[in-house]
Structures are given as C-alpha cells and as structure tokens.
Amino acid sequence: MRTQVGIVGAGPSGMLLSHLLDLAGIDNIVVERRSQAYVERRIRAGVLEQGTAELINRAGVGERMHTEGLIHTGFAIAFDGRHERIDLFGLTDGGTVIVYGQTELQKDLFETRADINARIFFEVDDVAIHDFDGSSPKIHYHRGGHEEIIECDFIAGCDGFHGICRQSIPANAVTKYILAYPFGWLGVLADVPPVSDELIYANHERGFCLCSMRSRSRSRYYIQVNGDDSVDAWSDEAFWDELRRRLPPEVAESVTTGPSIEKSIAPLRSYVAEPMQFGSLFLAGDAAHIVPPTGAKGLNLAAADVRFLSEALIAYYNDRRSDLLENYSRNCLDRVWKAERFSWWFTRMTHRLSDDQFNNRMQLAELDYVTSSRSGMTMIAENYVGLPFATRN
C-alpha cells in the first residue's frame, strides 16, 4: 500500500490531521490498534480554546460543536471562603472557550471521515515503523491475521503517550522532561445538571476539586486523591460528600447528586519529549507531551500540533516548501512549554501539595494576589483562552 502521509493513531489529533490533509488533496491512511467503539468511548477533555474551535471549523466538522457546545466567558476560582470570577471575555478583548467533550468531537470526526470513505484501519496488531530516518518510511502491522505494509513520505505519530512512535526514536536522539505529581484526579461523570454555568476550580485544605460539565444535563466533577488511591474505595455517596466538603457552602448546597455513569482516577504528570520530529517522523499530541488537566491544555495542545503539522505538509506538497516541516518541532515546543508552565503553575496554586503550613499560606497569598490584580487575572485569562500562534519560517 502506498500513501503520502501515514498516521498512527485515530484519536482526535490523528483524525483531525487526516481530515485537514484530505481537504487539501493529500492522500493519507490512519491505523489504530483499538476498535472504533473503544476510541469513541474514551472520556477525556472538554474545554476547547478559541484556536482549537477555529481549527475544527476550518476542517468543516464544527456544526454540532456550535449547536451543542457551551460558550463560556469566564470561570471561578474558590479559596479561603472566597469565590472569584475570571472574566475571560473582558480581560482578553472578547476571548471565550467552548465546553464540548472530546468524545463528541471524536464522533464528529469519525462520521465525517466515514462519509468520504477515508482509509482508517482499526484493531491492527503489531504496529511498527521503519526507515523513518530516511526518505522511505514504512508502517508495518497485522490486520485480520495478515501482514500489511504502508509505504509513505512521512509518518505522523498521533498514538499517545504509550504509543510505538516515540518509543521507536533512538534513545540518544530525544530528551525527555518528566515531572510526576504525588496525587491524581478522581473524576465522576453523572447525568445531573451542573452546579454552575461556569467551571469552578477550588483550593481547599482537604484538597483540590473542580466542577465542570459536558452539557446542561451532564456534569463532570473531580476531586484530588492520593496517587495510590483506588476507584473501588470510593462509593458514589463518598465522592459527593467529599466534593461538597471542598466547595464553598453556598455552592455545595446547590450540588445535584446522582449515580455515576463513569468513574476513574487520572494520574497527574508533566512530560515533554524534545525534539518532536526525527527524520520523516513527526510526533503530535500526547505522543510528545503531557500536561496536568488543570487548565485544560491537553487536547488544545494536540490541536495546535495538528495545525502546525497540517500547514507544514500542505506547504510541502502544494508549494514544495520544506521550511515549515524543518521548523515543526520548534514551532510546537514554543507553545508546548508555555502551556506546561501554565498547567504546572495552576496545579501548584490550587492543589494540596503537602501538610506544610508555610506552603499552604503561600498558595493563599498567590491566589489572593492574582485574583485581586487585573494583570494577574489577565495572565490567567490569556493562557486559558489560548495564546497566539507564532510560526518560525
């Protein structure tokens, strides 16, 4: 089999890249080791930056996002008995975010790709990539018990943190930056109305919590737990009780509880692999970087990578320009490290890091400062709605 771009991974970054390339007339094939149903069911991010929404619109898959997504012009930070609102719209000259679950975006992308009979191969085994350090990269895999090979010009590694693409790069050719946090997020998805029209991030002496949503009738709530905690240790009743303890009283009283339809613990870590390209292999999304979910940057960073990579590939095939491909890693990493900084800072400011009272007082002082200062709130708002894109030629 022959194509121009082989894409490993059918998550949002792989599917969005595939569709943008197809719109530009660039042939591509996607391989995915999981089933389509499994990929669709994965519960992930739900807050889209303006730049991500614009990219989805550009790909022509934004109709349902605009119909069902919730536009947010601000969010709240609760701490020390206070409830402070960050006015995204006012502080960033009209900036907003859209709450629209990754599962819904994934469905939109699959439906669009199916309509044009795109080549997407699910449930493939033994995926391996070869010769990507030269001009004839190949993707090897088994499908239906038969070995298949895709010959291509470039490989896009969109296969996540545990995928084969990054692991295939020689160890001495990549530098890995890692920070593991000693806690995780216990998340519950429930068909109950959200406690607020906007997200609430809360710092509490018992630990962090977040009130989020997927729609006006489906809520997503999180509480900070120990890194070695188990989902089995948390009944629905125990979760709701703990969530309400960490919220301001007036908010806690308004929480509507109900049976969970999904419950899981996500570890928190920061991770960056540099560079994000090696020969004809280009990494995108979680294959290259991970951020704590605080600040909702994971999916948005993946979309930014796709934007840079799709523009670079289109420039290469349409205009025979190679400069954007050569600068792909640098362009992405400029944005990645700024998002890593914001997520790291926001996590350290809102989570219970230890029982050290000095550190906890420093957190409250920081929260008081940034929510009492227009410049502090502007910094938060600018990062939250998404920083401008800058491309080096």
Q: Could you write out the three-class secondary structure of the chain?
A: CECCEEEECCCHHHHHHHHHHHHCCCCEEEECCCCHHHHHHCCCCCEECHHHHHHHHHCCCCHHHHHHCEEECEEEEEECCEEEEEEHHHHCCCCCEEECCHHHHHHHHHHHHHHCCCCEECCCEEEEEECCCCCCCEEEEEECCEEEEEECCEEEECCCCCCHHHHHCCHHHCEEEEEEEEEEEEEEEECCCCCCCCCEEECCCCCCEEEEECCCCCEEEEEEEECCCCHHHCCHHHHHHHHHHHCCHHHHCCCCCCCEEEEEEEEEEEEEEECCEECCEEECHHHCEECCCCCCCHHHHHHHHHHHHHHHHHHHHHHCCCHHHHCHHHHHHHHHHHHHHHHHHHHHHHCCCCCCHHHHHHHHHHHHHHHHCHHHHHHHHHHHHCCCCCCCC
Contact 45, 103 (CB under 8 A): no
Q: pLDDT at position 223, please? A: 98
Contact 216, 181 (CB under 8 A): no
Distance CA 360, CA 352 (A): 8
Contact 309, 328 (CB under 8 A): yes
Q: Count each helix (H run) and each strand (E run) in the chain, helices first.
A: 14, 20
Distance CA 378, CA 385 (A): 11
Q: What is the CATH number of domain 5-177+268-384?
A: 3.50.50.60
Q: pLDDT at position 273, please? A: 98
Distance CA 356, CA 364 (A): 13
Q: pLDDT at position 391, please? A: 66
Q: pLDDT at position 392, please? A: 64
Residues marked as catalytic: 72, 201, 293, 297, 384
Query: pTM for the whole thing?
Result: 0.96
Identify the residue whose tokens are 């029209």: 197
Using only the alpha carbons of the chain, give its radius of gyration.
21
Q: pLDDT at position 333, please? A: 97
Distance CA 287, CA 203 (A): 31
**Domain locations in the chain as residue ranges:** 5-177+268-384
Q: pLDDT at position 1, please? A: 93
Distance CA 69, CA 294 (A): 20
Q: pLDDT at position 393, please? A: 59
Q: pLDDT at position 41, please? A: 85
Residue type, 250: E
Structure tokens at 10: 């059918």
Q: Is the dihedral of CA 291, 295, 300, 301 positive or negative?
A: negative
Which parts of the chain register pLDDT below 50? none
